[in-house]
């Protein structure tokens, strides 16, 4: 069985991430969307909230699992029996960062290979930071994030008084 993991912060998950996830399910028997605890970023949603939101918005996609993890991503991959890591590559500016991550992961776990997927055009400029900023400033980006993600963000920002 070909298992791949698709790790990320997913703070929050966007239609761009979902697009990559769907592409990956066409190639792998099982794709594990792995929500990271250690990301080096201050997140707006807690780990459990990010995991729960990912579960809700991907519930209709077959061949996937949503799991959270802490520690090194390669250790999680090992535990899950995955030797392939999936990442989205949106622009040349992503490349250097992605290359260094892929090489470090390979150094840590020789069997791991990273495969890059290119998102659809309409998601090329999308990022979770941009989504948070637009929502904070009252903009609407309905076709870039699922409705319930927009609602969760608005609620969270009110609660946190952001
Ligand atoms: N559509 C929309 N946005 C996308 C995207 C897509 N297809 N692909 C990436 N992005 C955005 C993300 O939203 C995120 O935006 P942000 O920076 O504004 O939040 C950015 O691109 C990159 O994010 P993401 O895919 O979440 O990856 P990340 O770089 O935040 O996550 C981990 C990196 C979690 C994989 C990495 O930190 C990790 O592996 N952590 C575990 C600890 C570890 O093993 N560290 C060593 C790794 S070498």
Torsion of CA 142, 146, 150, 151, to 10 degrees: 120
**From 17, 50, 87, 132, the catalytic residue:** 17
Annotation says 87 is catalytic: no
Residue 150 contacts residue 141 (beta carbons within 8 Å): yes
Per residue in 60-116, pLDDT tens?
A: 999 999 999 999 999 999 999 999 999 999 988 889 999 999 999 999 999 999 999
**List 50, 87, 90, 132, catalytic entry:** 90
Domain 3-125 has CATH 3.50.50.60: no
- pTM listed for this prediction: 0.94
Q: Probe ligand 1: pick from 36, 76, 114, max atoms within 8 Å of CB? A: 36
Report the alpha-carbon distance of residue 73 to residue 80 in Å, rounded: 11
pLDDT number for residue 72:
97
Copy the structure tokens of residue 111. Answer: 């069997």
Is 23 within 8 Å of 117 (Cβ atoms)?
yes
140 counts as catalytic? no
pLDDT in tens, 31-69: 999 999 988 889 999 999 999 999 999 999 999 999 999
Q: Between residues 161 and 55, which one has the greater pLDDT?
A: 55
Cα separations in angstroms, 62 against 31, 32, 92: 9, 11, 31
């Amino acid at each position: 069985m070909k298992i791949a993991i698709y790790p990320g912060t997913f703070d929050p998950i966007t239609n761009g991430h979902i697009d990559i996830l769907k592409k990956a399910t066409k190639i792998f028997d099982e794709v594990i969307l792995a929500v990271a605890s250690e990301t080096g970023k201050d997140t707006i949603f807690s780990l459990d909230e990010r995991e729960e939101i990912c579960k809700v918005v991907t519930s209709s996609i077959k061949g996937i699992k949503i799991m959270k993890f802490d520690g090194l991503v390669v250790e999680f991959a090992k535990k899950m029996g995955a030797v392939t890591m999936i990442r989205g590559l949106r622009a040349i500016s992503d490349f250097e960062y992605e290359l260094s991550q892929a090489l470090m992961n390979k150094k840590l776990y020789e069997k791991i290979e990273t495969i890059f997927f290119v998102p659809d055009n309409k998601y090329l400029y999308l990022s979770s930071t941009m989504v948070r900023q637009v929502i904070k400033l009252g903009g609407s980006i309905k076709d870039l994030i699922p409705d319930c993600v927009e609602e969760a963000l608005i609620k969270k920002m009110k609660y946190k008084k952001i």
